[in-house]
Amino acid sequence: MGNKSWTTPGASRDAQREGKRRAVLQAGARLFNDQGYEQTSLEEIATALNITKRTIYYYVDSKEDILFGCHLLGLEFLGETMAQSQDQSLPVMERIALLIRGYCAWVSTDFGATIAMVREQSLSADRRTALRASKAEVDFQLRSLISEGIAESSLRPCDPRLVAAVVFGALNWIPHWNRVENPVPQEDIAEQYLQLVFQGMVPAQS
Amino acid sequence: MGNKSWTTPGASRDAQREGKRRAVLQAGARLFNDQGYEQTSLEEIATALNITKRTIYYYVDSKEDILFGCHLLGLEFLGETMAQSQDQSLPVMERIALLIRGYCAWVSTDFGATIAMVREQSLSADRRTALRASKAEVDFQLRSLISEGIAESSLRPCDPRLVAAVVFGALNWIPHWNRVENPVPQEDIAEQYLQLVFQGMVPAQS
């Protein structure tokens, strides 16, 4: 990313600043995902944006601030998915499918991948607690949907905690293998994941 | 771990040294898994063993050497699982089950968890390549078994690459949530995972 995209013509001062802060977070997310959080310096993030390290401090306080900002933006996007899957007028399976498709799309973004790839230890204790609470909410949502499905017999009896762990493990793994030159389209991944999680590998006995 | 376990009474000099080197790797693996590789110093590993940093250098060259040693020991253990699942006299589903149960047991060990939790970027390029090759072998083994199952119609048509990604994602996720005071027994995890992966969440239409 060159200096071209650094300034948005015609935008207000606040919007400029917000846009630039976002560009800093995005460049940070990409580098964290590609080469690791610990392996990335603020200097490198500035270089990727073609700005100085001094300029970067106008938008963020520290590298950890960038990481936390990435997480907040990532979670914002996930909020929409959460809301959709809470629509009680839809069948449970459809709500689970919405959650899995949405999470798959999310984890395929730079910000979503950062949450899935960077270990919580890189954040301060306070911020780690906040992040954990948000992650726990998504987990709780899926577990609740599974429990609801079991109660109404539309799903097999199972341990919702372990099944949710399979689903989120599989989804969080995506950026580890699919950040390549020709990635598998995330829509294809979601459909294959849904087929497996709903129907399993073994054909029904006929 | 105190100094008590540092020396094994009656063992030969070579066995002593090997035992101590292993103790260093184990202490390293535990700390890497609990607090992160980057967040752990050689000093802390020495302290955990109640030895000096100078003593640790008699067994390993660097922190990265410990990490790579953990990986090698982890992969050794996984080798047995790989061999079992290659037994052509067993049905494909049983061989897949063996691989999943074995990997689940493995990823629940300190060394296995290290491979699942520490990002490859922490290793030097050469060692990263070696580790990737070993991981690719396990992945290839599961994909081959799935392809074999599809060919003989004991499994539904699917994309073996994506289904293997679900399985390994779910398995590699285990140490991220199950390294707690009262962990779910790994045998229970494996059985629930197998049920989900084979049968899916949705009951067969009757």
Interface mutation target, options A166, A168, A191, chain B, most CBs of B under 10 Å: A166
Q: How much is the pLDDT for A152?
A: 94
- Lowest mean pLDDT, pick from A89-93, B3-7, B173-177, B181-185: B3-7
Check CB contact under 8 Å for B202 and A93: yes
pLDDT digits (tens, 9 = 90+) for A177-197: 999 999 999 999 999 999 999
- Per-residue model confidence as pLDDT tens digits over A151-187: 999 999 999 999 999 999 999 999 999 999 999 999 9
CA A126 to chain B, closest CA, distance in angstroms equals 16
With beta carbons under 8 A apart, name residues in chain A contacting B166. 166, 170, 173, 192-193, 196-197
Is the CB of B124 inside 8 Å of chain A's CB atoms? no
Residues of A within 8 A of B161 (CB-CB) are 184
Nearest to A63 by CA among A6, A135, A114, A131: A114
In this structure, of A65-74, B22-31, B151-160, the range with the lowest mean pLDDT score is: A65-74
Query: In sequence order, which residues have a C-beta less than 8 Å from that of residue A32 and are 6 or more positions away?
Result: A40, A67, A70, A114, A117, A118
B17 in Cβ contact with B7 (< 8 Å): no
Question: Taking CB atoms and an 8 Å cutoff, what residues of chain A touch B154?
Answer: 202
Chain B neighbors of A161, CB-CB under 8 A? 184
Which chain A residues contact residue B202 at CB under 8 A? 93, 154-156, 198-199
Residues B53-87: tens digit of each pLDDT:
999 999 999 999 999 999 888 888 888 899 999 99
Per CATH, the number for A3-56 is: 1.10.10
CA-based torsion, B167, B173, B177, B181: positive or negative: positive
Token pair for A3: 């200096």
Architecture of domain A64-199: Orthogonal Bundle (1.10)
Question: Measured between CA atoms, how close is A145 to chain B, in angstroms?
Answer: 12
Total residue length of chain A:
206
Contact between B166 and A163 using a beta-carbon 8 Å cutoff: no
The more confident residue out of B171 and B18 is: B171
Confidence of residue B2 (pLDDT cuts 50, 70, 90): very low
Residues in B 50-89 with any Cβ partner in A closer than 8 A: none
Q: Which of A36-45, A166-175, B115-124, B168-177 shows the lowest mean pLDDT across its residues?
A: B115-124
Q: What is the pLDDT of residue B173?
A: 94
Q: At B1, is the pLDDT very low, low, confident or very high (cuts 50, 70, 90)?
A: very low
Percent of chain B whose predicted confidence (pLDDT) is above 70: 97
Does A124 contact B at CB distance below 8 Å?
no
For residues A194 and A101, the answer to whether their CB atoms sit within 8 Å is yes
Contacts with A198 from chain B: Cβ below 8 Å: 200-202
- Is the pLDDT score of B3 beyond 60? no
A180 touches chain B (CB under 8 A): no
Question: Is there a contact between B196 and A197 (Cβ–Cβ < 8 Å)?
Answer: yes
Chosen for mutation from B140, B191, B196, B205 (greatest number of chain A CBs closer than 10 Å) is B196
Q: Which residues of chain A have pLDDT under 50?
A: 1-3, 206
What is the pLDDT at residue A40?
Answer: 93
Distance from CA of B67 to the nearest CA of A (A): 16
Any residues with CB less than 8 A from the CB of A16 and at least 6 apart, and which?
A: A7, A8
| CB contact A132 to B (< 8 Å) | no
Q: How many CA atoms lie within 13 A of A165 on its CB side?
A: 19
Q: What are the sequence ranges of the domains in chain B?
A: 3-56, 63-199
- Residues of chain A in contact with residue B195, where contact means CB-CB under 8 angstroms, are 156, 158
Please give the residue of chain A at the shortest CA–CA distance from B185.
A162
**Interface confidence (ipTM) of the complex:** 0.85
Residue from A162, A188, A194, A195 whose CB has the most chain B CBs within 10 Å, to mutate = A162
Helix axes A160-178, A92-107, angle to 10 degrees: 30
The confidence score (pLDDT) of residue A123 equals 86
Q: Which of B52, B12, B28 is nearest to B114 (CA)?
A: B28
pLDDT, chain A, mean: 90
Mean pLDDT of all residues in B84-95: 94
CATH code linked to domain B63-199 = 1.10.357.10
pLDDT at residue A5, rounded to an integer: 60
pLDDT at B52 over 90: yes
Q: How many CB atoms lie within 10 A of CB A142?
A: 22
B36 touches chain A (CB under 8 A): yes
With 60 as the cut, is the pLDDT of residue B206 above it? no
Q: Any chain B CB within 8 A of the CB of A159? A: yes
Residue B114's Cα: distance from chain center in Å?
7
The minimal CB distance from B36 to the residues A121, A163, A170 is found for A121
Residue B148 clears pLDDT 90, i.e. is over it: yes
Q: Kindly state the percentage of chain A with pLDDT values over 70.
A: 96
Whether the pLDDT of residue B4 is over 80: the answer is no
State the pTM of this model. Answer: 0.88
